[in-house]
Amino acid sequence: MTTATDFTQLSATAAALVPGIVVADVIVTDRAPWSGVVAAGDTLTIVDLYGNQAVDTLFYGAADHSLRYSAQTTIAAQGNIFLTTGSVIRDQESQPMMTIVADEVGNHDTIGGACSQESNTLRYGHHTKHQHACVENFLIEGSRHGLGKADLVGNINFFMNVPVDPDGSLGIVDGLSAPGKRLALRADTDTLVLISNCPQINNPCNGFDPTAIRLIITTPGVDGQV
């Protein structure tokens, strides 16, 4: 594991990438899921505490879970397959859900999908069948909101590096992130965020060593004051 950075010790106010009043500050342990609603106007900072930790993420309308993240509309609207500052996270109607307002990495994936027990078995052999995986995290955490397998769609992999070659081939390779790198998402509408802190140990997406992340939600202060 990479040496811990100050981001485990910093106050939430200091660790948040976008200044504001802190309304939530959570450590998501390695391999664990998390979910929560980010209210319109509030910002979610994700801190890759130890570096190269894939954060598989889905988005749903907080009041209407039939509205959900769409990689297709998000990619089509911005004309680029990679996500970074300025990228608007869109639902299947192409309506904005959240916007990446700051990014210390510069490149996040939304075509690699989420690992599952089934895909692990196919890719890495039957002995991986009982390893924990992102789809299981999504199902466990999603069940708290009435979400089931049919509600899972293509996700975003924050901090995961999936380069695409000129011939269209892609791979999951060593990450571009590093300890303490952060990303900030501002909610354009009340949005349910469903996260799997990826447990994968068979490819480089987590540096073969899943680690904890930190989530901080901030709300703007009056006249920008905090």
In the complex, least distance from residue 50 CB atom to Zn ion, rounded to whole angstroms: 16
Q: Which residues pair with 216 in a beta bridge?
A: 25, 45
- With CA atoms as reference, report the closest residue to 84 among 65, 105, 114, 66: 105
Tally Cβ neighbours within 10 Å of residue 93.
9
- With CA atoms as reference, report the closest residue to 55 among 165, 150, 202, 193: 193
Any alpha helices (H) in 33-154, and if so which ranges? 71-78, 117-124, 134-142
In the complex, least distance from residue 198 CB atom to Zn ion, rounded to whole angstroms: 3
Pairing relationship of beta strands 213-219 and 156-158 according to DSSP bridges: unpaired
> 59, 191 in Cβ contact below 8 A?
yes
Residues 6+ apart with CB under 8 A from 75: 81, 110
In the complex, least distance from residue 160 CB atom to Zn ion, rounded to whole angstroms: 9
> Which range, of 5-13, 23-31, 182-190, 196-204, touches Zn ion by CB under 5 A?
196-204
In the complex, least distance from residue 221 CB atom to Zn ion, rounded to whole angstroms: 36
Is residue 200 near Zn ion by the rule CB under 5 A?
yes
> 177, 11 in Cβ contact below 8 A?
no
Is residue 28 near Zn ion by the rule CB under 5 A?
no
What does the per-residue mask of binding to Zn ion show for 125-164, with x meaning CB under 5 A? ---------x------------------------------
> Which range, of 11-19, 60-68, 92-100, 109-117, touches Zn ion by CB under 5 A?
109-117
> Which range, of 22-30, 97-105, 194-202, 215-223, touches Zn ion by CB under 5 A?
194-202
Indicate which single residue of 89, 115, 160, 213 sits in contact with Zn ion (rule: CB under 5 A): 115
- With CA atoms as reference, report the closest residue to 136 among 32, 28, 59: 32
Q: Which residue has the tokens 């899921």?
A: 33
Q: Which is nearer to Zn ion, 43 or 211 (CB)?
A: 211
Is residue 198 near Zn ion by the rule CB under 5 A?
yes
> Which range, of 9-17, 110-118, 163-171, 186-194, touches Zn ion by CB under 5 A?
110-118
CA atoms within 13 A on the CB side of 112: 28
Q: Which is nearer to Zn ion, 87 or 203 (CB)?
A: 203
Q: Which is nearer to Zn ion, 45 or 200 (CB)?
A: 200
Q: Which is nearer to Zn ion, 60 or 159 (CB)?
A: 159
The dihedrals phi and psi of 90, each to the nearest 5 degrees, come to: -115, 155
Binding site for Zn ion (CB under 5 A): 115, 134, 198, 200
